[in-house]
Structures are given as C-alpha cells and as structure tokens.
Structure 1
Amino acid sequence: MIERIAAFCIRQRHWVVAVIAVLTTLLAWFALHIEVRTVFEDMLPSRHEYVRTHEKFKDTFGGSNMVTIMFEVDQGDIFRPEVLDKVRRVTLGLREVAAVNQYQITSLASKKLKEVRASTAGIESRPLMWPEVPANAGQLSELKQAVLRNPLVYGPYVSKDLQATLITVDFNDRQIDYAKVFTQVKALLAQVQGDSVQVRVVGDPILYGWVNHYLPETLHLVLYALAVTLAMLFVLLRTWRGVVLPLLAGLVSAVWALGICHLLGISFEPLVIVVAMLITSRAVSHSVQIVNRFDDELPLLPPGAGLSRDAARIALADLFRPGMLGVIADAACMAVVALSPIPMLQKLTVLSVVWVCTLTISAVILTPVLLSYIRRPHGVAHPLDCQPLLRKLLDLCVRVTLSRGRYYVLGGAALVVLAAGLYSLNLKIGDANPGSPILWPQADYNRDAAAINARFEGVDRMFVVIGQDGHQGYVKSNEALQSMSQFQRFIEAQPEIGGSQSIADVLPQVNASLREGNPRYLELGASADLNGSLMAMLDSVSEPGDMDRFTDAHYANGAVTLMFRDRQGETIRTAVARIKDFIAAHPLREGHWQLAGGVIGVMAAVNEIILSSQIEAIALALLVLAVICIVVYRSSVAGMVFMVPVIISNMLTFAFMTWKGIGMNINTVPVAALGIGLGVDYAFYIADRVKEEIAIGSTPEQAIRKALHSAGMGVVVTASVLILSTLLWWVSSLRFQAEMGLLMAIWLGVSATSALFVMPSLLYVFRPRFVFGEASRAYAVTVHAGPQLS
C-alpha cells in the first residue's frame, strides 16, 4: 500500500502540487485573519467547584481581573495635595478604561472608603476624600487622622509607614481585552508619573498585556530562529533543496493549521507560540530526513532523466511509515490534553493536533514530490563539506553500539532515568517562584509586585463565601459573624497571607463609634439583634455598592477576602488545605462555606486539575504511544522498545524543570504533552531503517551501521540545527518563552542522543522480532550476540 501511495504521488506530482498550492492559498487568507489574544474565560475549568463559586459571586465580591495601582513617595508621606491629586486623577480616569467595572474602583479618592462617626444627632458615614482633594493643612491633617483611625483603610489601602496608597479596580471578564486595557492603563499612569511619586501597577490584565507588548519581539525571535535554521541547513546539507524544502514544509503546515483553526473559531494564544515552534521543528525534521534519504539514494540508482523521480519515490516509500508514525504519535499524545476540563487547553489541543496532522501533507508528501522535480540532483551549493565531521560522530555511535559499550549505554541510561525520576518527584504544580513565571524576576511587573507586597497585605486575592441562598439576613447572625472572625484569625497565621477583610471587621468599628470611640467596644455585638442593628445602621448611611465587598444585597452570603503575598502553588495548596481543615473543625448549624473565588481561587482550581490529571495524562499518552507502535509494527514488544527513549527524555526534562524551578502549570502542560511524542520521533527513523536493511538481507551489524549513517545523519543535522535555533529564545523578555526554548533544546538533545546511542544498543542487545524477524533468532544463536525478545 505504501509503495502504491508513493508511486501515485510521484506519478501525479503535478496534480498533487497544484491541489496543495490551491488549498494553501485559500487557507492563507483565513490564517491572516486569526485572532491573536488571550481569552480569560478559556483559562477556567468551568466544572470545578471553585470556579462555580467564582462565577456566582465575582460581580459582588470581586473578579480575578483585578488591577492594583500603588502610589509611593520616598520622602515624607502621601498626605500632600500633589500626591493625592494624582490618586484622584487616576481614580476618575479609570472610569474611562475599556471593560472596567465602575462599581469596583476603590481608593482614597473614591466614595467606597468611608469613615463612620456617631454623635447625638445620629450615625454618619462620609467618604474619606471625595469629591475633592483637601485644600489646606488642616484638612490634610484631618484626612490623615481619619485614615489612622480606620483599620479597613490603614494597612489595606494606606501603608503602615504612610508612604504609599493603593487603587484597586476590577474588570468584566467577558468584555476584557488585555491589550487594550494594558495600553489605556499605562497611558493613564504616564500622565501622573514623576514629581518624586513612583507609580506601580500589577494584575492579570497588566501581566497579559505585557505578553502582548512583547509580541513584536517574539516575532523577531521567530525570524532570527528561522534564519539560523536555514543558515545551518545550508551549511550542513550543502544544497538549496535542503534549505528551501524544510522551510516550505514549515510554512505550509503553519498556514494550514492557522487557517483551519480560524475556520473553527479558535484564537491564537500568544504564549503558545512555543508550542507552534515545537511543531514547526517537527516539520523541519521530517523534511530533512526525506531530503537526506533522497541524497543517499542518488548514488545507488542508474543515472538518467528519471533519477530524481526514482530517488524521491524511494524516499517517500521508505520514510512514509516512520514519518506517519511520528505524526500520529505527536498528535495522539497531544490529544490527551483535551481530556482536561480547561477550555484553553482543549482549544490548544485542537490547534496542535491540526497543526501536527498537516505535517503529513507539508513534509511527508510535499517534500518528496518537490524533490522529484530536481534537475541536477548531484550539484552542491558551496564547497564547505561538514559531512566527514558528522560521519565521525556517527562512527562513534556505531563503535559504541557494536562493542561492549552498548551495555554501559543501557546501564547508564537506566541509572540516569532512575535518578532523574526520583528528583522529579519534587516537581512543583503551579507557580514555583514568587512573582509571575511568565516574566523575568527583574521585569517591571515582578518588581512592582514585590514592592506592593512589601508595603501592603498582598496583591492577589481569594474570597471564601459563608452563607445560605434564600436565607436572607444570615450574614447578620452570630453564627456567621463569629465564624468569619474565627476563620480570619486562623487563616492569617499562614505567613504568605498578609491579611483578610470581612463584614466582621466593619461592625466593631460601628459599635465603638456609637460609644464615642471607646476601644472597649471594638468588638462584635453580644447578640444577633445587636449585630443586626449595627448592620442596619451601617446600611442606612451607605450608598448602593458600598457593601458589595462584604455581603450580597440580601445579606444571605458574606465574603471573607484573603490577601496573598505570592501565587506559588505550595502557598495556594497550603491555604486551601487549611481552609478545609477549619471548615471541618467548625461545622455550621445553618449556613455553609463555599470555596473559592478571585484570582487565587481560580488558580487553586487550575492547580488542582493539573495535579489530579497530570500523572494520568502522561500515563495515558504513553499508553496511546505504545498502542500505536503495537498496531503499526504488529508486536507488543514494539510498544515497550519505543517507550524507552520517551521515558529517558521526559524524566530528564522533568528533572531539569525541577532544578530550574519551572512549575507544571497551564502554560507548561501542553509542552510536556507534546514532548512525549517528540521524544520518540528520531527513534522511529533509526529503528525503521534497521528493519528495512534486515529485510533486504543485511546482517544486524550492517543494518545498524547503515541506519546510523543514513537516518542517523538526518537526526544529527536536524537536532543540531533545531537545538541552536531554539536556544535563541533565551534572550526573550518573556521568561516563559526563554525557559520553554531551553526545555525544547534539552528535549531535542536527549531525544537525539537516545536515538543515536540507546535505541541501536537496545535493538542490538535484545534483537526484537518486529525489527529483525525470524532470521535473527538463528543469527543470535550463531554469533552469541545476546538474548532474543519475541
């Protein structure tokens, strides 16, 4: 069947090229219109308990797209007209930013931060600094004293040293465009920078805005990597076909994938450009293998007008199986990620699987078809010949495999895998370091986050809800208020949680104000009736939206908001575990607790999904790979043999991630899944060439020598080219891209080393029947080469 497919493609090459060209042109138009953006809702595992809580209460208690802005001064305090005016200008300006939730803008200059006073005339609540900035020293002093008296402001919104103040603002999840919000907020803050006032800003809209900000640099790095790839291919292969055809294979696959995904309504996430580069590297790899095989066949065929066609047909026929097997393995291993309930990973899986499948057309079929048009196949483009140097490396591989060194290779590989596997047990789920792992520690965003966390209780928030739907007024009950207060004292013992807020913090202030500020009454009321009265007094002097941070409109559900100093996976898991411990130890008679909203709540849900599914996903991907190998080679041993290079590459890569502090999160999971297929691609070509040589009567030694010098040459060329080009990503301003580029380079290096040393040693020692056939059994007895697997 494969011979017939190859013969048909070469015989009908004009039609094949024409159909591919037409389809590529049509899909190119759609590819140019694909959206490049981050969709927040796609990051949420909608079926998770925490996300359901977040979606239910985010409009009341605050969503996960909150932005925090800090104004700080080096000398004196913030209670100066020029500083407070900047706060007011930004507070008002935020109302004009796209997708802003105008009811969730909180600062000294907003109406939400108030002082509650009581007198003989009654209880009074008034904004601390609204609508105007204090005009004289007396008013500034009065504002300062009001802040110092209010624990809901002094600490949470004004730093303890009085040198910094915050603005917090939330955005509507369904309407937000990160690039637009980033641009507008940055432009607004640029108007107030200077005059010895430092303005810092953090939050997911700003973080993903930075990702979009660096998109031009990312595209430049893609071009640089492409230039390095083409230059090295030109030097190593010495032909223009060795440069143009791999480039064409990568471009056609990209056009088809992006065009098809646009038709499916899938946008392109800027961070997954690393995955795109990884898949494109497979296109280059498959294409180079075919070009290299074409060059190998030229001296073996009689010269004539049909030389190129015959060599191209043989290359297509002989490499169709390993090429397709590599494509299917990559696609199947990536498809496992679709089992995750996170829409972003599901859409990325569709994009990746489509992209990988296009390699069948762009590399496996188009490359040999175009090779059949070569008129002078024996010509070279430059006199520099690197082949002798590469052959010396391949000679080393042959000597190691055919000597006793093969046993040292297999033993050493086993020890390395064991050590790497044990070390990988420390791999972190979620973010492994403070700050965002997407950006470098010295990036503006991470420095701003560290500065805000140093002065305030924490940038990132989680809210936990206590209440009972349909039970109006439950939050006013003693059970709810006392539970909130106890829970806050309990959870704040965790060092990474800087503070917390709830309605249980507000009522003691009202209670003390009614008694002329007597600190003895700075506590919750002794009865539900008294607490209800305090809350009614507070509600009577509040405006719509003032209580949203603490309770819903019917007082059926209240929130305890926790401020986190970092987003590390261990911090979040510890907090969630302690919350669950508290709930278990303090059961409620009427209400119930609901976990968990806000950005930390959403991250906790994602981390739990990854933690629970990552081991299963890797195991399933390995199982899928084994089944594919068993079906294609009709041997159960094939699945075990090809599992070896995959396990080696994955264990070493996970060990590297552990060593470098790269956590397994929503961005790194797709790279890990695709790496399973990547770890075995090179091994397919080596094993299949050995099988092919055995089939034509070669001895095992001859077959391994021929396979290493033929398919091995393609492995050396593609691995060296792609490793160098991916290492260029280390200069990226996005830490995630730099580390994933380095990860790809390690993956490629380990996979190539496994294919050149471990795979031939494994085949030569165990002589699996699916490669060597029945004849190898008698040969093994004759030469005493080793045990025989069947």
Structure 2
Amino acid sequence: MATPIKPARVEVVRDLEDFDESSGSLLERIIFNHRLMIVLACLLVTLFLGFQIRDLRIAASYDKMLPHSHEYIQNFLENRSELRGFGDSIRIAVEAREGNIFDAEYLTELAAINDEIFLLPGVDRPWMKSIFTPVVRWTEVTEEGFTGGPVLPHDYDGSARAIRDLRINIGRADVVGSLVAHDYRSSMIIVPLLSTDAEGNPVDYDQLSRAIEDIRQRYAEGPDAKVNMYVIGFAKLIGDLIAGLEKVMLFFLVAVAIALVIIYVYTRCIRSTLLVLGCSIVAVIWQLGLVVLMGYDLDPFSMLVPFLVFAIGVSHGAQKMNGIMQDIGRGTHKLIAARFTFRRLFLAGMTALLADVVGFAVLMIIDIPVIRELALTASVGVGVLIFTNLILIPVMLSYVGVSPKAAQRSLAAERGEGSGSRGVGNRLWGGLAHFTERRYAVTVILVSAALGVWGFATSLQLQVGDLDAGAPELRPDSRYNLDNAFITSHYGISSDVFAVMVRTPDDGCRAYETLVEVDRLGWELAQVPGVQRTVSLADTVRGYTAGMFEGNPKWATISDNQGILDAQIGNAVSWNSEFLNTSCNLTPVLAYLSDHKADTLDRVLGVAQRFAEEHSTDDRQFLLAAGNAGVDAATNQVVREANRKMLLYVYAAVALLCLITFRSWRAVVVALVPLIITSILAEALMVHLNMGMKVATLPVVALGVGIGVDYAIYLLSTQLAFQRTGMSVAEAYRKALSTTGKVVALVGVTLAAGVITWVWSPIKFQADMGVLLTFMFVWNMLGALTLVPALSHFLLQGESRRAMLHAESEQTPDNNNAVAGGQI
C-alpha cells in the first residue's frame, strides 16, 4: 500500500530572530537587506522622471502613420516633392448662411478666411487652392487662341460687375463640384500640408487644429456670423482626437477610483490598497518620464498604453498584497511575509511581465512608426513594473504591513470560515473546483470548442481597414463626421484620392503612347464602383486639343500628331498644370473615391495593380500609389499581412516563457488554450461591432494575449506547486483558488469595471477599445478559472502521480518548505 503523503505544511515565522536571513536567493537577500536604499532610490527616480513629464507632448505625424517599407509608400515618398497636394491635406468648406457665394459680404468673409489659412504654419502655400488663389485658373478659346487667367479677376473690388465676372470665370474653370458646391452656396479651400515646418520639425496638428478652430469661432460662430465652416482632413482628425484626450484622462481617474473601491472591498485594508495603486501609478510616472527622455511623444493611438501599464501593475500588485496578507494572517512577521511572497511569486511575476513585454514588443515587426513607438513605450512601461511591482511593493509592505483585521479576514476566507457574502464567495470557489471533475471538464471543453469554432468562422469575415464613411475613430454625430457628411453631399469629388504615378524618361509624358495608356487607366478606374470620377493629363490634353479647333467636340481627343501634342503639353506647362512636373517625366492619374472603406479600396487597388502589371514597360512605369486613399490601401495590406504573423509570434514567445516556467509542455497547452479562444472570440466581436482591423485596433488583440496570460501563469504555477507536493489536481486547484484564484477574479473584475466606462467616451475609438478590453479581461479571467482546471484534469494528472512516486521512493512523509503561504 502506498505511503500516504501528508498535506504540505505552511511555514510560519513569528519572530525575526527565528528567520534565517541567509535563506532565499541572492536577489532576495540583496533586495531585503537593503530595503531603505531601494525605497530612497525609487523615490528619487520617481521625482526625477515625474519632473520630466512637464515636457510630455501629445502629438501625431502623418509620416508616422505610413508603412515605410511598403513598395507603394516608397514610390509615394520618392516622388512626393513632385506631387502637388496629393499627400496630407485639409479641406475647408465655407458656406453662406443666406443666399449664395455670389454676394459681396460672403466673398469678403471668404477672402479673410483664405488669407488667414494661407499664413498658418505648415501650409504648402504655393499649392493651396480656392477661388481666391492664383493657382486656380480658367481658360477659354477665342478667335485669337487660348486666353485665361485666375478665377478671381485681377480688378476684383466687390462690385456687381466684378462678382458677375467671378461667376463667369468659375464656369470657365470647371470647378463646380470641386471648389464650388453644386448649389453654389459654399466654396472649398484645399490646404495641402508640408511634411515638416520651416525648422524641419513635424507639423504640430494640435496647434494647427486649434488655429483653424479659432478662425471658425471668429468667422462662423455666433448670431452675427455670415458663414458656416466645415473642416475635414487627417490633421483635423488628429487635432479633434487630441482635444478629446482631456476626457480620456478623466476616464483614467475613474478607472483608478473603481480599482480603489473594488480592491478595498476585497481587502478591507486601506494601507495595502493605496500602496498597490500608488506603486502602479509610480510605474506610469516612470514610463511617461522615460518616454520624454527618449525623445518620443504620445499620440492619440497610444494613449491607452499608460492605462494598460497601470492595469498590469494592479494585477501583479494585488497578487503580492494577497500573499503577504495571508502570511501575516497566519502569524508570520510582516518582513518575513514579504520575503516569502517575493520568494514564491517573483518567478511567476517575472514570467508574466516578460509575456506582457513580448505582447508589446512583437508589434515592432510592423513597419509603421506609430505602432513601433507604441510597442517601445509600452515595453518600457512593462519593464519598469519589474521594479515598482515585483520589488517595490513587497519592500514597502514589509514596512507598512496590512491591518490585523484584514489579515485575519483573509485567512478565514481561505479556510472557508466566512459568512454572508464571504460564504457565498466560498461556495462560488467550491463550485469552480468541480471543473476538475470529468463530467464538468468535458462540458466546459466542449462548450469552449464550440465557441472557438463559431468565433473562428465569424472572424473570417473580419475586414481590414475602415468600414464606415468619415472618421470611424469619432462618433457618427461628432462635428468632424457631420462636416464630412456636408462636404460629401454638396461636392462632386471627395477628399479620398487614389493616385497612380506614371514615371517616364524626361519629356516622356509628351509621347502619344504614354498619353493613351494614361487615358486607358483613367477609363478603367472610372468603371470601378465607388469611383466618382478620374482626371489625368490626358483629360487636359483632350480639352486643349478641342480648344485649338474652335472648341469642336470632334477634336476632344488625344491626337497622334506629335506637333499638336507638344503644343498642348506647352499649354499645360504655361497654365501650371498639376498633372505634370517640370521635367515632364511624372504624371499622376487621380481617382476620386466616394469613401475610403476597405471594400472600395480593395476594388480600386485590384484594378490599378492589374493594369500596372500588364502595361508597365521599361520606358513607362505605373507606380502605385499616392493620395490619402493610396496610402490607406498600402497600410491595409501591411495590417492584413502583419495580423496573423503578429499573433503567431506572440503565442510562440509566450509558449516558450511558459515552458521555462512550468517545465511541462502539457502545462503550456493548458495555459495557452484559454488565450487562443479569447483571441478568436475578440475578432468575432469586432465583426459584430462593425470594427475593421487597422492601425488603431491591430495592437489590442496582441496586447490582450500578453496581459491575459498573467491570469493563467499565476493560477497554474500555484496549482502545479501544490501538485508537485503530492496533491491531486482537484486538491491543488482548490488550494490555488483560495489564494491566487480569488485575486485573478478580483483583478479581472477590477480591470473590466475600469475600462467599461470608456463606452461613454466621445471618442469612438476609445469606446470600441473599452468594449474589446473589457471582453478580453473578463474572458481571459473566466478561461483561467474554468478551462485551466478542465484541461488540467486530462493533461496534468501526471504531475501529481510523479510527485507521489518520488515521495514513495524517498519515503518522505513531510515537506516543510515546499509551500509557504499556500502558494509556489
């Protein structure tokens, strides 16, 4: 008969004199033998890095959103200086409140607005367009030949005659639908932006947006205003997001308050609760200070990172606090309790934090600077948690301890002696222990498998890119999206421009063959659903050719007579056409799209790619793609390719870390399966929320894996520690529940309660992230509490058997030091 193995005895040391200070690892001895130095060092670092935060800027750059290694973006950047206004730009529609634009008062207001916009920093002034800028011209065929000039007459003085001439010139210039609304009640100012200002710094979108809002407030708001203004463009979108980030900080404070309340209700110890939250906030201070020292800014898409660092800190801090509280409740001295907790949980905590770092660092494979900066700053934030939460919290708790009542209450709850709500909680933990039984285990595994299959089938419908018109980062009723709806409905061409660049040898754009191919490409793009119209140098040549022959429509064609073509190209150069450069070796073909939704971009991109492959020659290259829609299409391709690769790398790294920690491939499977199911269901949720996979949402699923594995690491490592003392799976899981398991549930509920408040944010991007993060926090927690025991029933029984066989072979009836405090 096998020798029975006694339950692991918990080591209790009440007096410091009874504790061997030379025990524990070298790191433990260094830390706890120099506690005061560590506290002072952390205080000084906090003060220094907190002082650096004064220079923290919230900013964004158009170039940082570009996937620089993508072929299309490289083509765009190489030819950027010769493309006029096809990159980052702002569009401003100025509407007359009464009447139409042919009114002296309206035109006076428009002129003043135009002049102020022209002088804003970052504006590419030579290519700014409106009916008041000289670059917008009209042409006409007369008996003497071509004549023309700027749309705004040189002698404009606001008189009825001058306004009548302006009306005629607008018709001659064919700008109705582009610079003038179809109903003639508003006109457009197109403002191309430079990539850098005069000093070589990126354009400050926040400052630019505020300047435009100041102009809008002075000219278009109030009862006496004569015009309305509508503003769209990437720079304005970023400016609105930055303006809304003040409310993001409010939600951060709400999350801190919720965490404070929930953790205090659990512990009933204000000192340890404040300590956990304080150390997590210190980690955020360190992270932001280091971001400043590294020369980086925060941008609207990385604003969730400080909260994630805080959330991870609360997760790890709560585990340390819980372990120390239980040891003190058993009678252990607070300093020794802190050392025991450090000894038990440091390896598990380090593994979990490294998994978090991997979740962030893997984002570095995506060649989009804004995501790489997010990955770097987040990795730094998680890295500082090693000091603030794995080291500083145990050290601080070794000084302040926990309240005696809280310690006794924690110990009573562990032993199942609670009543009331505590008794309900104990029954709940007892119910979870049933998942180690075969019938319950089979049920939860089958249900999880069914959810996984359904989620995978649904996730196949996940699209890459934007799925809504306007700016999906903002609410549909936001001012920006209302402005976008106005411009889209009143103008014939949108702000979504897809440009194909045609590169030839010098003067190659004059060639008949080139112009014909350019015309064919424009025609093919025009047939694609979602394309409003296309324009190119071929259209310009066709119009000038007809003009040479008295406007006869029969001559509205591309002549194969090179002399005629040279004359038309000369006219285009004379009138400063945007469709050719000075060397006549680059000409763009523009497609104006009805929107920038993923489906629209995929259709246009497919046609353009096929045409480029079939028609490019050594002397004529069709290069994709410029324009904001071309950049979006390239970005979507990068995101689509990176999504699965990123998750594969995350899981591979997390699996390796778990294997090092657990020393069992079966345990790795138990830890990863809940994470995989949560990732699949998160993508299915994105489909149901009508969210596309894009730069703003791509990091969330990967980050959920890194943060979610914390639950499994703490719970499973504790369970395995008990199993390796000879306990069965059921006994070990029940003991793990009474210690780390409760804190897993506590942290999951706390983090979910914090981020669910984001649903009420005016920034839709933040609201969507709140829903996704809440889902992932809750499902990772539920997966750890239900799937880990269910899978353990089938995969980890051998751990207990091996421990029993080892105990029998050595005839060891007791194992004093295997477990201290009921954990690893």
TM-score for the superposition, normalised by structure 2: 0.88
- For the pair 1:43 / 2:69, whether they are aligned, the reply is no
Q: How big is each residue's C-alpha offset from its partner over 1:264-285, in whole Å with a ceiling of 9 and x where there is no partner?
A: 2222223312132122101001
With over 3 angstroms needed to count, the CA separation of the structure-2 counterparts of 1:394 and 1:479, relative to structure 1, is same
- What's the secondary structure of 1:663's corresponding residue? coil
Q: How big is each residue's C-alpha offset from its partner over 1:294-334, in whole Å with a ceiling of 9 and x where there is no partner?
A: 222233335xxxx1112212211111122111101111122
Alignment of 1:171-210 (within 5 A): 171-175=193-197, 176-193=203-220, 197-210=227-240
Q: 1:270 aligns with which of 270, 277, 300?
A: 300
How far residue 375 of structure 1 moved from its aligned partner, in angstroms, is: 5.4
Task: Tell me what 1:750 maps to.
Answer: 779
- For the pair 1:727 / 2:727, whether they are aligned, the reply is no
| CA–CA distance in structure 2, aligned partners of residues 401 and 376 of structure 1 | 33
The one-letter code sitting in structure 2 at the alignment partner of 1:35 is R
- For the pair 1:625 / 2:625, whether they are aligned, the reply is no
**What runs of 5+ residues in structure 2 fail to find an aligned partner?**
1-22, 198-202, 410-418, 809-824
Alignment of 1:405-444 (within 5 A): 405-444=440-479
Task: Tell me what 2:548 maps to.
Answer: 514
| CA–CA distance in structure 1, aligned partners of residues 339 and 420 of structure 2 | 27
The one-letter code sitting in structure 1 at the alignment partner of 2:268 is R
| CA–CA distance in structure 1, aligned partners of residues 430 and 407 of structure 2 | 26
| CA–CA distance in structure 2, aligned partners of residues 211 and 568 of structure 1 | 20
Task: Single out whichever of 157-166 and 288-297 deviates more from structure 2.
Answer: 157-166
Task: Tell me what 2:93 maps to.
Answer: 70
| CA–CA distance in structure 1, aligned partners of residues 801 and 668 of structure 2 | 16
Q: 1:83 aligns with which of 106, 112, 117?
A: 106
- For the pair 1:116 / 2:139, whether they are aligned, the reply is yes
Task: Tell me what 1:26 maps to.
Answer: 48
With over 3 angstroms needed to count, the CA separation of the structure-2 counterparts of 1:553 and 1:301, relative to structure 1, is same
Task: Tell me what 2:336 maps to.
Answer: 310
Answer yes or no: is the 8 Å Cα contact 2:438–2:793 preserved in 1.
Answer: no
| CA–CA distance in structure 1, aligned partners of residues 421 and 582 of structure 2 | 76
Answer yes or no: is the 8 Å Cα contact 1:646–1:680 preserved in 2.
Answer: yes
**What runs of 5+ residues in structure 1 fail to find an aligned partner?**
780-790
Q: 1:144 aligns with which of 167, 174, 179?
A: 167
Alignment of 1:664-743 (within 5 A): 664-743=693-772
Q: How big is each residue's C-alpha offset from its partner over 1:401-443, in whole Å with a ceiling of 9 and x where there is no partner?
A: 3462121111111111111011111111121222212111111
- What's the secondary structure of 2:124's corresponding residue? strand
Task: Tell me what 1:784 maps to.
Answer: none
- Aligned-residue sequence identity (percent) comes to 24
Task: Single out whichever of 116-125 and 326-335 deviates more from structure 2.
Answer: 116-125
Task: Tell me what 1:458 maps to.
Answer: 494
| CA–CA distance in structure 2, aligned partners of residues 86 and 42 of structure 1 | 36
Task: Single out whichever of 22-31 and 430-439 deviates more from structure 2.
Answer: 22-31
| CA–CA distance in structure 1, aligned partners of residues 337 and 469 of structure 2 | 56
How far residue 27 of structure 1 moved from its aligned partner, in angstroms, is: 2.2
With over 3 angstroms needed to count, the CA separation of the structure-2 counterparts of 1:387 and 1:479, relative to structure 1, is farther
The one-letter code sitting in structure 2 at the alignment partner of 1:323 is G
Query: Aligned-pair RMSD on alpha carbons?
Result: 2.5
Answer yes or no: is the 8 Å Cα contact 1:78–1:162 preserved in 2.
Answer: yes
| CA–CA distance in structure 2, aligned partners of residues 117 and 686 of structure 1 | 80
Task: Tell me what 1:359 maps to.
Answer: 385
- What's the secondary structure of 1:32's corresponding residue? helix
Task: Tell me what 1:333 maps to.
Answer: 359
Answer yes or no: is the 8 Å Cα contact 2:272–2:401 preserved in 1.
Answer: no
- What's the secondary structure of 1:357's corresponding residue? helix
Task: Tell me what 1:484 maps to.
Answer: 518
The one-letter code sitting in structure 1 at the alignment partner of 2:457 is L
Task: Tell me what 1:500 maps to.
Answer: 534
How far residue 380 of structure 1 moved from its aligned partner, in angstroms, is: 4.4
Q: 2:506 aligns with which of 448, 452, 472?
A: 472
- What's the secondary structure of 1:202's corresponding residue? strand
| CA–CA distance in structure 1, aligned partners of residues 153 and 162 of structure 2 | 12
| CA–CA distance in structure 2, aligned partners of residues 121 and 652 of structure 1 | 72
| CA–CA distance in structure 2, aligned partners of residues 494 and 451 of structure 1 | 24
| CA–CA distance in structure 2, aligned partners of residues 155 and 434 of structure 1 | 19
TM-score for the superposition, normalised by structure 1: 0.92
- What's the secondary structure of 1:256's corresponding residue? helix
Alignment of 1:373-412 (within 5 A): 373-374=399-400, 377-380=403-406, 387-402=422-437, 404-412=439-447
How far residue 655 of structure 1 moved from its aligned partner, in angstroms, is: 0.9
Task: Single out whichever of 570-579 and 154-163 deviates more from structure 2.
Answer: 154-163
Task: Single out whichever of 521-530 and 313-322 deviates more from structure 2.
Answer: 521-530
- For the pair 1:370 / 2:400, whether they are aligned, the reply is no
How far residue 656 of structure 1 moved from its aligned partner, in angstroms, is: 0.7
- Equivalent residue pairs, number: 767
| CA–CA distance in structure 1, aligned partners of residues 763 and 280 of structure 2 | 24
Alignment of 1:165-314 (within 5 A): 165-175=187-197, 176-193=203-220, 197-301=227-331, 307-314=333-340
| CA–CA distance in structure 2, aligned partners of residues 271 and 2 of structure 1 | 43
Answer yes or no: is the 8 Å Cα contact 1:250–1:284 preserved in 2.
Answer: yes
- What's the secondary structure of 1:358's corresponding residue? helix
Task: Tell me what 1:577 maps to.
Answer: 606
How far residue 567 of structure 1 moved from its aligned partner, in angstroms, is: 1.9
Task: Tell me what 2:200 maps to.
Answer: none
How far residue 569 of structure 1 moved from its aligned partner, in angstroms, is: 2.2
| CA–CA distance in structure 2, aligned partners of residues 776 and 124 of structure 1 | 101
How far residue 562 of structure 1 moved from its aligned partner, in angstroms, is: 2.0
Answer yes or no: is the 8 Å Cα contact 1:687–1:771 preserved in 2.
Answer: no
Q: 2:123 aligns with which of 100, 105, 123?
A: 100
With over 3 angstroms needed to count, the CA separation of the structure-2 counterparts of 1:314 and 1:538, relative to structure 1, is closer
Alignment of 1:525-564 (within 5 A): 525-540=559-574, 542=575, 546-547=576-577, 549-564=578-593
| CA–CA distance in structure 2, aligned partners of residues 66 and 594 of structure 1 | 21
| CA–CA distance in structure 1, aligned partners of residues 167 and 806 of structure 2 | 91
| CA–CA distance in structure 2, aligned partners of residues 226 and 294 of structure 1 | 22
| CA–CA distance in structure 1, aligned partners of residues 801 and 688 of structure 2 | 40
| CA–CA distance in structure 2, aligned partners of residues 297 and 596 of structure 1 | 64
| CA–CA distance in structure 2, aligned partners of residues 143 and 375 of structure 1 | 81
Answer yes or no: is the 8 Å Cα contact 1:253–1:358 preserved in 2.
Answer: yes
| CA–CA distance in structure 2, aligned partners of residues 719 and 370 of structure 1 | 24
Task: Tell me what 2:34 maps to.
Answer: 12
| CA–CA distance in structure 1, aligned partners of residues 37 and 501 of structure 2 | 64
Answer yes or no: is the 8 Å Cα contact 2:723–2:729 preserved in 1.
Answer: yes
Task: Tell me what 1:129 maps to.
Answer: 152
Q: How big is each residue's C-alpha offset from its partner over 1:765-785, in whole Å with a ceiling of 9 and x where there is no partner?
A: 322656774438999xxxxxx
How far residue 618 of structure 1 moved from its aligned partner, in angstroms, is: 0.8
Answer yes or no: is the 8 Å Cα contact 1:91–1:105 preserved in 2.
Answer: no
Task: Tell me what 2:412 maps to.
Answer: none
Q: 1:604 aligns with which of 624, 633, 637?
A: 633
| CA–CA distance in structure 2, aligned partners of residues 15 and 772 of structure 1 | 46
- What's the secondary structure of 1:498's corresponding residue? strand
- What's the secondary structure of 1:169's corresponding residue? strand
How far residue 64 of structure 1 moved from its aligned partner, in angstroms, is: 2.5
With over 3 angstroms needed to count, the CA separation of the structure-2 counterparts of 1:325 and 1:260, relative to structure 1, is same
- What's the secondary structure of 1:106's corresponding residue? coil
